[in-house]
Amino acid sequence: MTTTAGDLLTVDNLTVEFPTDDGVVRAVRGVSFTLRQGEVLGVVGESGSGKSVSSMAVMGLLPRSARIGGSIRFRDTEIVGLGQRQLEKLRGNDIAMIFQDPMTSLNPVYTVGWQLSEAYRAHHKVSKKVAWAKAVEALELVGIPQPDRRAAQFPHEFSGGMRQRVVIAMAIINDPTLIIADEPTTALDVTVQAQVLETLLRIRDETSAAIMIITHDLGVVAGMADRVQVMYGGTVVESGQVDAVFERPRMPYTVGLLGSIPHPDLLGKRLTPIKGAPPSLMNLPPGCAFAPRCPLAGPECDEAEPELVTVGVSGHTSRCLKWDELGGGDDSRDLFEHEEIGSVENPASLTQADPELAVVEDAAEVEQRMAREEGSTP
């Protein structure tokens, strides 16, 4: 991947592994992407897809036990292998992170203003008074009413949505050029979520910071992101401009994901969910990670993991051998259509331990087999 002007963050072939007692967890495999100034990248995926781990790697927040490979370049600095001290310089100054739970990001024994000004003073040599003024300014920027009064209050005096805004204020107080938001609205109610997302976008407009938003909510991505990156089984399976990916998904997983979300256009129709459970990151299938659950999968999909190939304009890529069989829209969703009653799933632990095991079987077959077994063991 070549670096061009305006590229803020370049991640190349990032790999993260965690050795555990039971084997190596391959949390992230071969992830590459770039992020430009003022761009919003949405990273979507389900639990265990590696989306959070890759963002923690960018922040240098992974535990020591993690084995990190590949390269993460922020401007001209290589982050992989950087020492703690240099990382701390980057964190909170150039790169800021917003976590899911606002309460754990704030210290309950200090006032909000104190915490904000400390965050500012950690990277700027200014007097406490100047830092406090900066704190009030940041609170105002995230839309907290009466910021001068609120700055003197403690975190528990703020409601959930307000707290998350304080966390955002903390993130932006040093004018970061990159904001990483990991499920920033998952813990919030819908109406509050709208407020927080709006705040984030306004900050992007005012400071032209790049935002990497990690979420499982495709609706949030659709509303916020310029580009989207879909992750599954620890790697990127599709990426591209939001419109292209949502309108003409070229990876069966994305198709299934989009078909799983109720949408006004789907009223009265069946949703098209994906059968089975995501793979175990310790025991990935030999070929495409999605193959065991994929309605299009053929024997060639089990041979080797497909490469990420360009499938459309402006960098639309997909990790699927059969991407051109997906016409896009409703036709491809029909692939996933099935009746829920009449087929049975095997337990997740079994299908993860043995990727070859059938995820779904016909209930009638299972019944016959059980009758046979019962007959043979009197």
Site for another protein in 32-91 (CB under 8 A): 46-53
Residues 217-256 that bind another protein (CB under 8 A): 217-223, 234, 242-243, 246, 256
CB of 204 to another protein, least distance (A): 15
Stretch that binds another protein, among 117-125, 146-154, 166-174, 273-281 (CB under 8 A): 273-281
CB of 58 to another protein, least distance (A): 14
Looking at 177-280, which runs of residues are DSSP E strands? 178-182, 210-215, 227-232, 235-241
DSSP 8-state secondary structure symbol assigned to residue 91: B
Among 147, 155, 161, 306, binds another protein (CB under 8 A): 161
Residue type, 291: A
Residues 338-377 that bind another protein (CB under 8 A): 339-341, 343-350, 353-354, 357-358, 361, 363, 366-367, 369-370, 373-374, 377
φ, ψ for residue 352, nearest 5 deg? -80, -35
What is the radius of gyration, based on Cα positions, of the chain? 23
**Contacts from 295-302 at CB under 8 Å and sequence distance 24+?**
295/252, 295/335, 295/336, 296/252, 296/320, 296/322, 296/325, 296/326, 296/335, 298/322
173/258 with CB nearer another protein:
258
Among 257, 288, 301, 320, binds another protein (CB under 8 A): 257
CB of 101 to another protein, least distance (A): 9
Q: What's the start-to-end Cα distance of the chain, in Å?
A: 65
x-marked contacts with another protein along 8-27 as a string, rule CB under 8 A? ----------x-xxx--x-x
Please work out the total of residues on this chain that contact another protein, with binding judged by CB under 8 A.
89
Q: DSSP 3-state assignment of 364?
A: helix
Q: Is 103 in the site for another protein (CB under 8 A)?
A: no
Place of tokens 């819908």: 190
Q: Is 201 in the site for another protein (CB under 8 A)?
A: no
Q: Is 260 in the site for another protein (CB under 8 A)?
A: yes
80 within 8 A of 68, measured Cβ to Cβ: yes
Neighbours of 167 (CB within 10 A): 28
311 within 8 A of 317, measured Cβ to Cβ: yes
Query: Does residue 348 come out as left (phi exceeding 0), alpha (psi in the -120 to 50 range) or beta?
Result: alpha
Describe the crossing of helices 160-172 and 112-121 by its angle, rounded to 10 degrees: 20
Place of tokens 């639990």: 47
CB of 257 to another protein, least distance (A): 6
Residue 338, C-beta contacts closer than 8 angstroms, at least 6 positions apart: 275
Q: If you count DSSP H runs as helices and E runs as strands, how many of each does the chain have, helices first?
A: 14, 14
CB of 178 to another protein, least distance (A): 20
x-marked contacts with another protein along 275-304 as a string, rule CB under 8 A? x-xx-xxx----------------------
Stretch that binds another protein, among 121-129, 147-155, 268-276, 294-302 (CB under 8 A): 268-276
- How long, in residues, is the chain? 378
CB of 278 to another protein, least distance (A): 8
CB of 209 to another protein, least distance (A): 21
Among 93, 272, 318, 332, binds another protein (CB under 8 A): 272
x-marked contacts with another protein along 308-327 as a string, rule CB under 8 A? --------------------
- Cα-Cα-Cα-Cα torsion 216, 219, 220, 226, nearest 10 degrees, comes to 110
55/117 with CB nearer another protein:
55
Residues 112-131 that bind another protein (CB under 8 A): none
